[in-house]
Amino acid sequence: MSIINYFFIGFVFTFLTELLYQKFYNHPLLQKESWGSLERIICVLIWPIGLIVFLVAFVGTYFKKK
């Protein structure tokens, strides 16, 4: 994988994360969170870790016992 592919995947992942953030912006759990330029740049650079954290949190929430 070249560095260009790595950054492209990071940009796509960050873009999709931003779309989810904008969709659920009024959710009570996100009221304290801010999504600035620094967080976007870090997300592009370390997107594999961000993807793992997102998937673990999503699966944990989705299959949470009620």
Domain ranges for the chain, please list them: 3-62
Q: Report yes or no: 41 and 7 within 8 Å, Cβ to Cβ.
A: no
For residue 59, give the H/E element and its range: helix 47-62
> Cα–Cα distance between 21 and 32 in angstroms, integer?
12
Q: Model confidence at 29, in pLDDT bands (50, 70, 90)?
A: low
pLDDT for residue 31 is more than 80: no
Q: Report residue 43 as tokens.
A: 């997300």
- What integer best gives the mean pLDDT of the chain? 81
pTM of the model: 0.67
